[in-house]
Structure 1
Amino acid sequence: MPRPLLGYALTVGAAGLFAVNGTVSTLALQAGIPAPWLTALRCGGAAVVLLAVLAAVAPARLRVSRREVPFLAAFGVVGVALTQCLYFVAIGRLPVGIALVFEMTAPVLIALWVWLVRRERVRRRVWAALGLSLSGLVLVAEVWRGGGSLDAGGVVAALGAAVCLATYYLMGERGTATRDPVTLTCWSFVAAGLFWAVLAPWWPFDPAVLRSPVPVSLGSVELPLWALVGWIVVLGAVAPFWLSLSALRHLPPTTAGLVATVEPVLASVVAWLWVEQVLSGWQVLGGAVVLVGIALAQTARTARPAAVPEPAAA
């Protein structure tokens, strides 16, 4: 039987792991590993773990028909590979919390898409959601200061990640109509890993780099880069995915999506406490306004969306 309190706990737990992963990924990027290679490591590692688990417990679920291949390839490339890479580019140039605020505007884009393109009926609150999100982003960017300290390339990357994330959700609604969320996510990671294997081939990459010590801003503590990458794969992708997927057994997708909006808040707190990424008062206020807009956008659709898995983009 559904247990809502457990669903809330699982969703917040997933958001917490994704939030910590933002700072861990920032440290890995600062250590010198390029965003495409970090994305390739995360996608490839998650694909190997998910394939191994499914092969051991339910190998029949891994079967793929020839007709599914183009869809799974597009879903993996746009929804997973590009979303994650653009997110890594964004957090390399912006505070983690601000990058997530821009990326999490995806539900607003979804509501506009289904209204303009699919001609679905949406509630009037979509306009309030759009207005709040745009107003909040103006505050986050501090446009009266010419953008403040925000890097233009980082903002473009974060908005690009929002578009790709919206695509992930829209394609995921279609994909889960014929395939369960676990194998859909597994094959999307496989497609993303193969994409980066071609676009960012491994042979120029020196594996010795993974043994490099990385200061982790906790006193004088240093960890090898491979330990950070291992965290990003296991606790930054596979574990939060399983938590968010399990939550969907106890909560409707819209509720889970609303609870998941705590991720930018948690990410900002983690980055502030860990690497001293301090946001201005206007940016904090703007982030709060955007989150209210996201909450309205999540409930703007009159048709209930399918239960798609949480993206491992953050």
Structure 2
Amino acid sequence: MGDVVMAQVGGTPERRYPRSGPVSSAARAFGAIPPPALVLLGVVSVQVGAAVAKQLFTTAGAMGTVTLRLVLAALVLLVVWRPSLRLDRRTWMVIGSFGLVLGAMNLCFYQAIKHIPLGAAVTLEFLGPLAVAVFGSRRWLDGLWALLAAGGVLLLTRVDGGLEPVGVLFALAAGACWAGYILLGAALGSRTSDGRGLALAMVFGAALALPFGVAEAGTALLDPVVLAAGAAVALLSSVVPYSLELEALRTIPPRVFGILMSLEPAVAAVAGLVVLHEALHPAQWVAVFCVVLASIGATRTARPEV
């Protein structure tokens, strides 16, 4: 999943993106690619990164892998954005809160994919942003999308012997964190510019994960092969998708972006099948597409922001 995307599915607050900067400049190397394709490439990058990360679990463990991802991503973002530390107390509180939620989201998500297939984990996690999209709405159509998503989740967890309960709980916890991430992202976007606030927030997320990673993986985190794989995960899951999505958002409406992001559960299921050979039951594929359709529907029919 993309832990650096600051705009999400239907009805969530629109974030302010920079028109220029080092990350945006790097993404402009893909200027010949249509913006929707950039978003889809970003989604594929995130899910392939998650699949690669899962292959690291046997060496570094789930906690060690997410620690490598967050620490290395934080280092890259700090170098790229070089944020100032001269911020007021309230801004630091927003940055810290956002970073801790970001870290918790990733810790829960990696624990989830340790126990259940990648496609199932992302589908369950996606209930977080979907809930933000429909929460508080009194329109019957949004209730219909919520029921469709709930039916998909029920089907997903009951078919073919079901999923490991611990994995389901971690995926749902990651979804709750994702919802908090979206809401806190509005405050972060209003108090910081470009990717500077995100770079500092990533440090807080990495600091949260570090004790868990060290406790689980120990000196394995310093193995050159593990470090190289961790760097690949950080690039695929954080730096590359952030660059691509940031550039795409300069030219496409947030609602279109949200619809494209709604494809994440399906892309995750394909990545799990191709990279990890995690085959879902046919009915579980139906469940995944129920959640995808609910997300697209909630995004497509959301009331315009005022």
Range class of TM-score, shorter chain: 0.7 to 0.9
Q: Determine if contact 1:111/1:300 at 8 Å carries over to the other structure.
A: no
Which of residues 127, 144, 166 is equivalent to 1:128? 144
Q: Which amino acid aligns with 1:72?
A: I
Matches within 5 A, 1:141-180: 141-142=157-158, 148-180=161-193
Normalising to structure 2: TM-score of the pair?
A: 0.82
Q: Which amino acid aligns with 2:291?
A: V
SS at match of 1:290: helix
- Aligned partner of 2:92 in structure 1 is 69
Cα distance change of structure 1 residues 85 and 203 upon mapping to structure 2, 3 Å threshold: closer
1:138 maps onto 2:154 in alignment: yes
- Aligned partner of 1:309 in structure 2 is none
Matched residues, percent identical? 25
1:27 maps onto 2:55 in alignment: yes
1:267 maps onto 2:283 in alignment: no
Cα distance change of structure 1 residues 208 and 161 upon mapping to structure 2, 3 Å threshold: closer
Shift in Å at residue 211 of structure 1? 3.5
- Aligned partner of 2:9 in structure 1 is none
Cα distance change of structure 1 residues 155 and 204 upon mapping to structure 2, 3 Å threshold: closer
- Aligned partner of 2:115 in structure 1 is 93
SS at match of 1:142: helix
Q: Which amino acid aligns with 1:178?
A: R
Q: Determine if contact 2:134/2:298 at 8 Å carries over to the other structure.
A: no
Cα distance change of structure 1 residues 181 and 132 upon mapping to structure 2, 3 Å threshold: farther
Which of residues 39, 50, 58 is equivalent to 2:77? 50
SS at match of 2:144: helix
What CA distance in whole angstroms lies between the structure 1 residues aligned with 2:32 and 2:176?
A: 30
What CA distance in whole angstroms lies between the structure 1 residues aligned with 2:132 and 2:200?
A: 23
What CA distance in whole angstroms lies between the structure 1 residues aligned with 2:255 and 2:197?
A: 20
5+ long unaligned stretches in structure 2? 1-18, 20-30
Q: Which amino acid aligns with 2:65?
A: L
Cα distance change of structure 1 residues 272 and 202 upon mapping to structure 2, 3 Å threshold: closer
- For residues 159-191 of structure 1, the C-alpha deviation after alignment (integer angstroms, 9 at most, x for no partner) is 111111011111112221232251232122011
What CA distance in whole angstroms lies between the structure 1 residues aligned with 2:276 and 2:209?
A: 29
Root-mean-square deviation (CA, aligned residues, Å) is 2.5
Q: Determine if contact 1:122/1:301 at 8 Å carries over to the other structure.
A: no
1:296 maps onto 2:300 in alignment: no
5+ long unaligned stretches in structure 1? 116-120, 213-223, 306-314
Moved more, 84-93 or 66-75: 66-75
What CA distance in whole angstroms lies between the structure 1 residues aligned with 2:252 and 2:166?
A: 37
Cα distance change of structure 1 residues 112 and 181 upon mapping to structure 2, 3 Å threshold: farther
Matches within 5 A, 1:97-116: 97-113=119-135, 115=136
Matches within 5 A, 1:196-207: 196-197=209-210, 199-200=211-212, 202=214, 205-207=217-219
- Aligned partner of 2:11 in structure 1 is none
Normalising to structure 1: TM-score of the pair?
A: 0.80
Q: Determine if contact 1:4/1:250 at 8 Å carries over to the other structure.
A: no
Shift in Å at residue 282 of structure 1? 0.3
What CA distance in whole angstroms lies between the structure 2 residues aligned with 1:15 and 1:205?
A: 28
What CA distance in whole angstroms lies between the structure 2 residues aligned with 1:227 and 1:254?
A: 36
Q: How many residues align?
A: 277
What CA distance in whole angstroms lies between the structure 2 residues aligned with 1:208 and 1:278?
A: 30
Shift in Å at residue 286 of structure 1? 0.8
Higher relative helix content: 2
Q: Determine if contact 1:96/1:268 at 8 Å carries over to the other structure.
A: yes
Q: Determine if contact 1:142/1:282 at 8 Å carries over to the other structure.
A: no
